[in-house]
Amino acid sequence: MFSSTALTGSKPEQYAQLLAQARSLLHGERDRIANAANLSALVYHAVPQLNWAGFYFFDGTELVVGPFQGLPACVRIPLHAGVCGAAARTGQTQRVDDVQAFPGHIACDAASRSELVVPLRHAGALIGVLDLDSPVPGRFDDDDQAGIEALAQAFVEALA
Ligand code: SME
């Protein structure tokens, strides 16, 4: 049985502990739905001030919602739309301090104010995105971005 322990220390230290917990959850398991489900729950409960944390997977045409924690979300997101689409299209992490100022932002939960979306690539191909939303404007900083990018990388490596 997995048991999470409270994160302590600086933000980079906390993300290092979270990464260790993620690696222990992912260990020996390649199923992407199982891993995405557990990582969503881990992140949502460990990272403060989130109202949504989860995955969208690329079906070859658009992004389709996968395992997540938070309110029910938009099912399909075209690559030309939203913060998630921008991350998928550009291959670059999108960190948006004010989603209301982001052209084309898709408001799945009206409470969302800032967003962090990390693209997921496996063997050179887009497989989806990891998306975190917060009701707090400017919630995500460099430490959050580096920490969540490391978790996303661990997720991708577990698929190999
Ligand atoms: N806000 C996202 C859509 C997904 S929800 O936040 C869960 C976007 O603009 O792509």
Ligand 1 atom 6, closest CA: 108
The structural domains of the chain, ordered by start, are: 11-159 (3.30.450.40)
Q: For 12-57, what is each residue's pLDDT tens digit?
A: 999 999 999 999 999 999 999 999 999 999 999 999 999 999 999 9
pLDDT at 133 over 70: yes
Q: What is the mean pLDDT of the chain?
A: 95
Q: What integer pLDDT is reported at residue 78 of this predicted model?
A: 97
Confidence grade of residue 139 (pLDDT, cut at 50, 70, 90):
very high
pLDDT of residue 2: 67
Q: What does the pLDDT average to over 70-97?
A: 97
Q: Is the distance from the beta carbon of residue 37 to the nearest atom of ligand 1 less than 6 Å?
A: no
Question: Whole-model pTM?
Answer: 0.96
Structure confidence at residue 109 (pLDDT): 86
The per-residue pLDDT for 3 is 66
Pocket test for ligand 1, best of 133, 139, 140 (most atoms within 8 A of CB): 133
Backbone angles phi, psi at 62, to 5 degrees: -145, 175
Mutate to test the pocket of ligand 1, among 131, 134, 139 (most ligand atoms within 8 A of CB): 131
Residue 148: what pLDDT?
A: 98
Q: Which pLDDT band, with edges at 50, 70 and 90, does 6 fall under?
A: confident
Is residue 67 within 8 A of residue 43, CB to CB? The reply is no
Q: What is the pLDDT of residue 160?
A: 83
Digit-coded pLDDT (tens) for 99-122: 999 988 998 888 999 999 999 999
Q: Is the pLDDT of residue 4 over 90?
A: no
